[in-house]
Amino acid sequence: PKAAYGNIKNYLSPGGLSHPACSIDFNDVTTMFCRASVEGLFGCRPDYPAGIVHVEPALPTAWDKAALRTPDVSVAFRRNGAKDVYEIELTRPARLMVRLPVHAGGVKLVTVNGTETGHRWEPWFGFGMVHVEVAKGSRFTIEMEVDGRRSPGTEMRVVKKAGDRLELASADGPILEIK
């Protein structure tokens, strides 16, 4: 049998296309799922009138591969040992602004279409982010070689009362203290 999950191409909300609120912003189930997947999970925000596309994926750290194709942009991710590879294709040329999560001790090398490129490092809670700006184009292969890949963190639930002291620590030492 054909898998039904993820198949939103032929989905119509109750009332069909004749429903007054069908497929308008947040009034449709399909639209909410698409927006959560495209903008949330894959972080795709095309702004073609300004000539720029932002890609800021927030994929689960346990995923070794993922892909998304929309009418405006497609993103494919795969983890290959110490390399994270992102293949991004735009429907029309634009500048690309990428912000990639780094679940490792550091970044050795970042390349765009096989050429080493500059990047900016941003510390983040539990990991880091790499910012890369790419000149106008339509097909990009971004490879990020990391040093000391870290396994996904475990979920932690903390219950405190207002005024209680809270300290979160990792193997590297304290990472957050609230008094």
8 Å CB contact between 93 and 138 = yes
Range 89-95 average pLDDT: 95
Q: Is the pLDDT of residue 2 over 50?
A: no
**What pLDDT score was predicted for residue 60?**
86
Tell how strand 120-124 and strand 173-178 pair up: unpaired
The three-state secondary structure class of 83 is strand
Phi, psi dihedrals of residue 36, rounded to the nearest 5°: -65, -40
Phi, psi dihedrals of residue 30, rounded to the nearest 5°: -60, -45
Q: pLDDT (tens digit, 9 = 90+) per residue, 14-55?
A: 555 555 555 555 555 556 677 778 887 888 999 999 999 999
**What pLDDT score was predicted for residue 6?**
45
| 18 token code pair | 């004749």
In angstroms, the Cα distances linking 7 to 4, 11, 22, 30 are: 6, 8, 18, 10
At 10, the pLDDT band (50, 70, 90 cuts) reads very low
**What pLDDT score was predicted for residue 3?**
40
The three-state secondary structure class of 99 is strand
Q: pLDDT (tens digit, 9 = 90+) per residue, 72-87?
A: 899 999 998 899 999 9
pLDDT higher at 93 or 21: 93
The region, left, alpha or beta by phi > 0 then psi within -120 to 50, assigned to residue 37 is: alpha
Q: pLDDT (tens digit, 9 = 90+) per residue, 110-134?
A: 999 999 999 998 877 667 889 999 9
| 165 token code pair | 């002291």
